[in-house]
Structures are given as C-alpha cells and as structure tokens.
Structure 1
Amino acid sequence: MDMSTAASRLGVGVAARLERLPMTRYQRTLFSIIATAWFFDSMDLGLMTFVLGSIKVEFGLSAAQAGLLASASFLGMFAGAAIAGLLADKFGRKPVFQVSMIFWGVGSLMCGFAHNVDSLMLYRVLLGFGMGMEFPIGLSMVSEIVPAKSRGKYVAILEGFWPIGFIVAGAFAYFTLPVIGWRGIFIALSIPAMFVFVIRRMVPESPRWLEDTGRMKEASDVMNSIEAKVENAYGRKLPAPTPTQSTPRAESGRKALFSALWTGIYAKRTIMLWTTWFFALLGYYGLTTWLGALLQQAGYALTKSVLYTVYISLAGIPGFIFSAWLLEKWGRKPTCALMLLGSAAAAYLYGQAAGTKAPVEVLIAAGLMMQFFLFGMWSVLYAYTPELYPTRTRATGSGFASSIGRIGSLVGPSAIGVLLPSWGQAGVFTMGALSFVIAALAVLLLGVETKGRSLEDVSH
C-alpha cells in the first residue's frame, strides 16, 4: 500500500497530508499557472496608468472626469471581490477563478470598441468585476496548496507578478500606443483570457475546501493525485503525515457566512484588514493611476511620461523580492508596517519633487523609492490576508477585504481628480502618504503574526 492510500484509509486530514509535502516542480507548476493568469490580469489593471492621458485628450475630459474614468474599474472590482469570495466558499475555488477570467477578457475586448466615454466607463466596470473576482480566489488557491513553510514566500511572489505585469503593460504601451492606439491595446490584452482552458485542465480544486465542505471522497481523490505527482517529482517516498495537523472536526462543515467574519477572534482581524486595505489602496491607486497623466501635465511628452513611469515602476521588482524574503525572516506584521511607512515617506518626497518642478533625475529617484515600498506593501498584504481566516471563510474574508480596498481604489483617483487643481501635486501626494500611515497603524495595533504557522493553527 503506498503512502497516499494509507493516509486516506487512516482518515488523516487534508491539512496534515498537504503540510508534510516537499515543494517540487509539480506545486511550482500549479503556482506558475495561477501566477500567469494573475500576470495578465495585472497588465489589464495597470494599463490605465499609461493610456489615461491619451483617453483624456481624445474625449476632451476634465481632470475630474478622467478621475472618474480611472476609478470605474475599481467599482467593478468592489462588487467582483465581494461576490467571488462568497461564491468560491460555496461552489469551489476553481470554477469561480475560471469565470473571473471570462469577465475580464470580455471587458477588455469591449473597451477597445467603446464609442464614447460613458460606454468605456461601463466596460471598465465589467473588466474590473472580473479582476476583482480573480484576486482573492488566486490568493486562496495558492495559500491552500502550498505548505506553511513556503506559503508566505510563494504568495508574495504571486503578488510580484503585479509589478511585472504593470511594467510589461507600460513597455507594451510605449511601443504600441503610437501604432495601434489605446483601443488596439485593450483588444490585444483580451486575448490572454483564453488561458482559462489551461486552468480548467491542469489546476485541481482545493482539497482543503473539498474536505471543509464535507466532500471527503473528492478531497481524498484530489489528495491522492497530488501526492502521486509530488512523489514522482520528489523521486522518493513521501514522509508520513502528522495527524495532529488535521482540521478539527468541529471546524469542518460550517457554513461560510459574512457574519462569521465578525465572530470571536475574527472580528478584530476583519477590522484590521478592512482599515488597512481601504487606506493602502486609496493611497496606492490614487497616486499610481495618475503618475503618467501628472507627468504629462507637468510638461512631459506622451512617450516620455510613459517611459518615465516604466522606469519608476522597475523598482517594484526588487521591492517585492525583498518583501518576500523579509516576511519569512522577520514576519508578516512588522514587514507590512515597514512597507506602508516606507511608502508614506517616499510618496511625500515624490510629491515635493513633483510640486517644485525638480529635475527629472530627482523625480525618478523619488519615484523609484516610492514604487519599491509600494510593491513590497502589496506582497505582504496579499500574503497576510488569506492566512487570517479558516478554510470555510478564507475566500469570503479575502474577498471582502479586497472589496473594501476597492472602495479606497474608487475614492483615490476620483479624489485626486477633484483636489488636484487646488491642492497641487505636493498636496495630493501628501494625502496619499497620510493614507499609508493610517494603514500601518492599523497593522501595528490590531495585527497578529502568522509566520511559520499552518493555516489551521492560525485559525484557532
């Protein structure tokens, strides 16, 4: 009898069987598939930073109107993140993840055919709905497949595909915007939604979710398949699972309800996460969405503003790598606070440089510092959030935290569009800096540490 069959017959829980698995090319392949979908999603989301100036000129938009357009996708993300979490905890991670890809693919395609700003705004909401669905589900899938000893690093690396996607979107816009225009770019970025067929064929349903919903036979079958593939990649017999790691029976089978986020220890965690996500995303999207347009407003040509924004974004790569390393060495809570406070200081300095028309070298240096901390912040936030809830409400909790963050995303770009004429660039970047400080205080005062602990241990 092989190890997986023995474990199944002895009734050892999914958590115990997953946590003792070594990381092999099989889990890394699953991670790569999810990360690829995440990457394409990030390209679509980051694209507005590079094309907002062109759209503003074509439709003759005011700063306030441009801010509303930039915020449109976040309205969709607000609804998508909240709904997807509930659906994924009820119907499973895999089907909801696939549906999300269809929504953002269709939304991106329709953006390219928008005949006026109102229709473009509507299609951006549709695009945002799909992206809002995908982010919390992708997080839950990776968190539930990767063992605790590697979980933080891999979730942080997953988030690292956001700055890479952002940079690639900028480079793509730089080379193609003069040729195919912003419409052609949106149409081109709808094609990767076909990747849904790879997800459908190669990614299994979360065995943790299957077990938690009482589908024990399916959970065991999925685990047997995973263990066989890991053992084949590992090249030798797997270690025996430790029964004490399994999910307590009292926790299994409970319904995933919104009210569960406000029960017992989870109420404090929910308050912390909602506060952090709202203010972190208000500051991030309020500032980043406007980077290219603000450079154009300062007198830089379209291609120069896109190129400078790409340069600035390059610092996001070492930022998320450093954050991925630090959160496993130092912990989630202190790393998150450090990245938020670093973002606050860098945003303030960038605003002062932009407001005083400093030389472009100074502006880029301040921008590099800002993006280093901002993308580091994203890595910790996405690694930390799904760890704070049990399996039955993990997608719901992550989804609503992301959804509340999207309210901040919605408010940020719109507020800057309204305040920019009177506050100036220095003023709006100071507002962003204060948002990051509030988010950091929420983590420091209300956060708990999860480094090195299994998901089941953190939940109790």
Structure 2
Amino acid sequence: MIDWYRECAPVERRTFWACFGGWALDALDVQMFSLVIPALIATWHVSHTEAGLIGSVTLATSAIGGWLGGALADRVGRVRALQVTVLWFALATFAAAFTQDFSQLLVAKALQGFGFGGEWAAGAVLMAEIIRPEHRGKALGAVQSAWAVGWGGAVLLYAAVFSVATPEVAWRVLFAIGLLPAALVLYVRRGIPEPARRDAPSERAPFFATLFGIFRPETLRATLVGGLFGLGAHGGYYSITTWLPTYLKAERGLSVLATGSYLGVIIVAFFCGCVIAGQLLDRLGRRLTVAGFALGCILVVIAYVMLPIGNGAMLLLGFPLGFFSAGIPASMATLFNELYPGGTRGTGVGFCYNFGRILSAVFPTLIGYLSGSISLGTAIGLDAAFAYALVLLALALLPETRGKTLGTAAPAVEEDATELVPHGSRL
C-alpha cells in the first residue's frame, strides 16, 4: 500500500504533503457548516430551505472558483495559484465567525467557495504533473483521502466545542478556527518547486482565451462529458454529507456525541475508500474502478436512509457508505488530468471537477424542500441515487487513460535545477 511512496523522490513527497495538507484543511473548513446547521436553525430560526441555500451557494461559487483557479494555475503557475486560493478560503472562513445574520453568513460562505474550488484545481494539477505516471492514481487517491482527515478533524472539533460552549457561541468558534490553513502557504512557498512546462499560455494573451480554451473542438468532448461526471459525483456526495448530520440528529434522535460516532465510522471508511480506489485505479484502470464504486454507492445509500433498520445496523452500514462514496472523488483528479494537454490542463481539471457543483448545488436545496413533504432520509436517498446514475452515464462516454504520460518539460521525479523552476519565476 505504501511501496509507491518509498519510490518517490523528495520533490514528489514534499508536493504530496503540501497537496494533502491543503485538501485536509479545505475539508476542515467546509465540513464545519454541515455540522452547525442545527445550531444555526436554533439561533437564527432559519428554515431547512434557507440552510440548504447556504450550502448550495457555497457549491456554486466553488464551481466558478475552481474554473478561475485552474485557469490561474495555467497562467501564473500551479504553486502560486495554490498559495492564493488557500489564503482566500482561510480568510473567508474566519470572516464567517463574525457574521451577524443569515445574509452576512451567506456572503461569507459564498466567498469561501471561490477559494475552496480554486485550491483543489491548483493542487490536483500540481500533484499530477509532479508524480510519475505509474503512481498517479495511488498518489491522487491518497491526496483525496485527506478530505476524510479534515472531515474527521471538523467532527472532533464539533464534539469538543459544542460540549463546552453554548450553540450560539460554539459555531462561531469553529469558523474562527478556519484560519489555520493560512499557515500552509508558508510551507508551500518554501518547499515546493514549480514544474516546468513547454506549453504554458502566454501571459500576453487575454485571460479569457485561457479560460475558454477548453471549449475548442479538440477538447470539447472531454469538457462536456467531464462536466457531467462532476455533476453526478458532487450531486451524490453533497446530497449525503450536507444533510446527514441533521438526519442523524433530527430523525434518528442522536445526541452530539452519538452523531459524532456515526460520522466517525463513515469518515474512517471514506479514508480507506480513497486509498483503495487509488490502488485500483492503477491496477484495474480508471473506468472499471469508478463503475464499481458508483454501483456500490447507489445500493448502500438507499439501504442506509430508506430501509427500516435500527441504529446498530446503521452504524455497520456507515462503513460501506463512506467507503463507496470515496471512490468517485478519489478518481476524478487522475481522470480529468489525463484528458487535457498541459496548456489547458489546469483550466480543464478545474472546470470538470467544479462545474458539476453549479448544477449539483440544487441538490442540498432540493432535499431541504422535499423534506417538507417526505422524510428527510427518503429525500437524501432519492437525490443521491439519481446523481450516481449520472456518473455511470458519463463513464460510458470517457476513454480509458491509465498510464498516460502528461506533457511536462522534464520528468518531475528528478531534483535538478534544470528541470524545475522556482515558483516565483515567470513562466
């Protein structure tokens, strides 16, 4: 499971930990919102639909931020774009702690989304170009597992802070802690080189030429099908995670600590699923691996929220729920990077991964709306199953890209000054 890491050069390892840390801290900030929804409902008396709207707006702005962040990575470099986006979402999360009403929080979360989407795009492309092709699936799958680490950190902080502070104060403390990712910028600046590229866009060309270059005839099919893939993947994931804590507390009647235990099982399983999916991507190929995980998601999520099972059975089902839901996001960075040439890779990856969020943003809001006429669990199950079916449709239209070599100016596995340029240099 870790032999690939032992084979990595120092530059590959440093880049891995920078991207892993960025994604973990990203998850820490983002997942805090789903955990504090009950507190916000009690404090500001917002409806389920309004709470879902905040989640949807954050997803929508993250989609735009991912596209812009990917284009920025193509223009000014992967490392510099990573620094900017990490700092952006950290400051926006910190600002959310001081909001005074629903409208202010909506704006703060919208700003957070821009940085959240851009950070993933810059980090995914950086890792894909640094790591050698035979380990790309394993490395990017392991990076995606950092989401479980950050998610777990958010749940632990949620349990700790809400146990010692009133809900009206606790949610503000959690958002204030979201400033922590800003410290990662210093590590990225000091330790990560910029991979050299032959086909970087000219800085004299209009930015919109880079932004819309992915719609040229030679890449249009990849962009459209990749966007559909992203829609299904994010629609399914956010259907589950945005409302799951509320479902466990409101419909299952679980306490804060019990909710944390159930989520803990899912989070550990998510981590395992990312790591295993990364291994399978390099062994079985991209398409077969994703298809297996998508089918597993559909079956397990329906059983988890719709079958009349006890809390003990739910705890057991939490592991396959988290495991299968991990396989699809763990594969997207690898698959999308292999669809595009270097000059548009950041833009393409950012668009495909994040564009689905624009449309998938309706899923949390729709669940909140449907819960007014059907149970919250049924609404979650129906939305998630439909979303993962879209993943299977997109998968049938995509090529198998296992083992593809990405077009960088030099192999990224050597620590040679002639092959890597400092992140501050102009491309």
Fold conserved between structures, TM > 0.5: yes
User: Which structure would you say has the larger Rg?
Assistant: 1
1:415-460 Cα shifts (integer Å, max 9, x gaps): 111111213222431221121012112102x111111121249xxx
Separation (CA, whole Å) in 2 of partners of 1:275 and 1:266: 15
Separation (CA, whole Å) in 1 of partners of 2:45 and 2:261: 23
Partner of 2:97: 112
CA contact (8 A) 1:90 1:256 kept: no
Quickly say closer, same or farther: Cα 1:26–1:428, change in 2 above 3 A: closer
Moved over 4 A (4+): none
Partner of 1:335: 289
The one-letter code sitting in structure 2 at the alignment partner of 1:306 is: G
Separation (CA, whole Å) in 2 of partners of 1:126 and 1:303: 31
Verify: 1:266 aligned to 2:255, yes or no.
no
Alignment map for 1:31-430 (pairs within 5 Å): 31-180=16-165, 181-208=170-197, 211-213=198-200, 257-298=210-251, 299-353=253-307, 356=308, 358-424=309-375, 425-430=377-382
The one-letter code sitting in structure 2 at the alignment partner of 1:370 is: L
CA contact (8 A) 2:63 2:358 kept: yes
TM-score by length of structure 1 reads: 0.81
- Between Structure 1 and Structure 2, which shows a larger proportion of helix residues? 1
The one-letter code sitting in structure 1 at the alignment partner of 2:280 is: L
CA contact (8 A) 2:64 2:355 kept: no
CA contact (8 A) 1:163 1:375 kept: no
Q: CA deviation at 1:150?
A: 1.3
CA contact (8 A) 1:164 1:317 kept: yes
> Which consecutive residues of structure 1, in runs of 5 or more, have no partner in the other structure?
1-21, 216-254
Q: CA deviation at 1:256?
A: 5.9
Count of aligned residue pairs for this structure pair: 392
1:302-335 Cα shifts (integer Å, max 9, x gaps): 3322332222222112211210111110001111
Identity of aligned residues (%): 27
The one-letter code sitting in structure 2 at the alignment partner of 1:272 is: V
Q: CA deviation at 1:267?
A: 2.2
Separation (CA, whole Å) in 2 of partners of 1:415 and 1:303: 28
TM-score by length of structure 2 reads: 0.87
Separation (CA, whole Å) in 2 of partners of 1:346 and 1:261: 35
Q: CA deviation at 1:384?
A: 1.1
CA contact (8 A) 1:140 1:386 kept: yes
Quickly say closer, same or farther: Cα 1:331–1:256, change in 2 above 3 A: farther
